[in-house]
Chains A and B, each alone.
Chain A
Amino acid sequence: MEELLIHIIVPIAIFGFVALFTLFAVYAERKIAGFVQDRLGPMETGKYGMLQTIADILKLLQKELITPKVADRILFATAPVLIFVAVFIGFSVVPWAPDFLPANTHTGLFFLMAVVSIDALGILMAGWGSNNKYSLLGSIRAIAQMVSYEIPVGLSLIAAVMITQTLNLNDIAFNQGILANENIYFLGLWDVSEIGGILAWNIFQAPHLIVVYIIFFIATLAECNRAPFDIPEAESELIGGFHTEYGGIRFAFIFLAEYAMMFLVSILGVTIFLGGWNTPLPNIGVIKMADWTTGLFWGIFWTLSKSLIVVGVQMWIRWTLPRFRADQLMSLCWKIMIPLAFVCMAISALWRILVMV
């Protein structure tokens, strides 16, 4: 009974977090947009406009559900649920703190990649079900982009997994700090198992992973359909892309899924490349900063703050760079990122065999 209760409480807690994060992130996004564009952003609702997104969500929740007359009703209704569930399941294997994660499986990373790829099906379902040419075009663009960019994401993850030698996200996070089960070498030379901190993160264990992380970051931006890769939702040409016809709570779910996806890829990148829940502060002599700042609550704190910084960078990029054209997007993916990812994969293999032994 107790076990069953945990199985119910954990998803609800994650859902609550995702919903809260979305509210916070939309506000942050608008404020960042305001800052970048030299204006104030939302200011009317509440102090500094803090209640703006809460007002928005209340409006969305009480809106009438409108289904277009010629839409495929079943597909139209299931699509937002599928999109959200696909992203939501992804959170089930991500570690938050030492041994503090919903499901500790050996196939964690692979599982995450697989369930996130269901997301594409949901988007296609939304586009087809709406029976609207803008929606269909938007979803076709989205799928073309997501399927292409899944390859650099996958390759960069393989390059990282070759270094870590495990798909278990919990183990991956463990082996990047003072709690590691094996010896860690900074740049493959200097044993930092006792020192930990930022020196033990995967990107510094094997320096080419910095390049891999950049590939991963850019490719996941495209996976989330975020600017500068937001041609699936390009307002100026496609109205709103695959969610043109959606309103009310269904739109809220699609929106929730988009922000959940942003956070998911951020926390995934943090777990694999940036040390997960490990502290960035190293042990220096008697000042055991890494020992002091490792633990359950510190772990959650570091995971959250690192991920939120990455989300912040995503927003910063969105409001700084102009949108890519479809052909530029594809040539960036196929001609630059995939070959680069392959090279990094080869370096990973050599690094593992020759340096890490």
Chain B
Amino acid sequence: MEKFLFYAFALLAIGSALLVVNLKNTARALFLFFITLFGMAGLFLFALADFVAITQIMVYVGGVLILMIFAFMLSNKALLSDMQNISTHFLSIPNWQSLLLSLGFLTVMIYGVITWQDQMPNWILENIKTGDIIQATDNNINQLGVKFMTQYVLPFEVISIFLLMALIGAAHLSRKEEQR
């Protein structure tokens, strides 16, 4: 049952992602992107990262996706048709770049599969031996909070400052020019 659900979510994520990039209708593609994000959230659940899964839904669906749709609605038709024209030339520069990127990711993944197929890394084996593992029913929110405030406090603060910068930038851009 779990295996079936895992493959269902994976299929949902990959299939909808493929459709998103192939659909001509940008509005539909954006709404379909929700399915991709939802499938990804489901996959996070299988990694016992329920908090990350929910954050994915909350931030990406509740925030980013809606902003993307807003941006789409507020942009004019000429701009949109420009964007759609790019994808018709198969061998234009963006395609080469994306091909390179995807090939790079594929290499990394194949490398990972080859190196870790025979045996799990030592640290995983050690943790299994000492029983230092997370169960599906564990409450790992507390652990996340403690880790964020101790071990990972610097990256956490850097991210918050980055977000603050984005906020200030947005406020500055949307402000009216002062009358002189």
Closest chain A residue to B56, Cβ basis: A114
Our pick among A106, A107, A118, A150 for the contact of B61 (Cβ within 8 Å) is: A118
Contacts of B66 in A (CB 8 A): 120-121, 124, 143, 147
0/1 per residue, A104-146, Cβ < 8 Å to B? 0111001101110110110011001000000010001001000
Our pick among A75, A111, A136, A150 for the contact of B54 (Cβ within 8 Å) is: A111
Closest chain B residue to A79, Cβ basis: B31
Q: Are A117 and B57 in contact (CB under 8 A)?
A: yes
Q: Are A110 and B54 in contact (CB under 8 A)?
A: yes
Looking at chain A's contact residues, is the secondary structure mostly helix, strand, loop, or mixed? Answer: helix
How many residue pairs bridge A and B at CB < 8 Å? 65
Given A75-B28, A150-B62; A121-B70 close (CB under 8 Å): no
Q: Are A114 and B73 in contact (CB under 8 A)?
A: no
Complex Cα gap A168–B51 (Å) = 12
Given A110-B51, A121-B31; A143-B58 close (CB under 8 Å): no
Interface residues on A, range: 20 to 34
**A191 within 8 A of partner (CB):** no
Q: Are B62 and A117 in contact (CB under 8 A)?
A: yes
Complex Cα gap A72–B69 (Å) = 15
**A74 within 8 A of partner (CB):** yes
Contacts of A167 in B (CB 8 A): 141
Q: Are A140 and B65 in contact (CB under 8 A)?
A: no
**B169 within 8 A of partner (CB):** no
Closest chain B residue to A75, Cβ basis: B31
Q: Which residues from 20 to 53 on chain B have a C-beta closer than 8 Å to any C-beta of chain A?
A: 25, 27-28, 31, 34, 50-51
A224 CB to nearest chain B CB (Å): 16
Complex Cα gap A121–B51 (Å) = 21
Contacts of B87 in A (CB 8 A): none
Q: Are B58 and A114 in contact (CB under 8 A)?
A: yes
**B139 within 8 A of partner (CB):** yes
**B63 within 8 A of partner (CB):** yes
Q: Taking beta carbons and an 8 Å cutoff, which residues of A are in contact with B?
A: 72, 74-75, 105-107, 110-111, 113-115, 117-118, 120-121, 124-125, 128, 136, 140, 143, 147, 150, 167-168
8 contacts between A and B (CB under 8 A): A106-B50, A106-B139, A106-B140, A106-B141, A114-B54, A118-B57, A140-B70, A143-B66
Q: Taking beta carbons and an 8 Å cutoff, which residues of B are in contact with A?
A: 25, 27-28, 31, 34, 50-51, 54-55, 57-58, 61-63, 65-66, 69-70, 73, 139-141
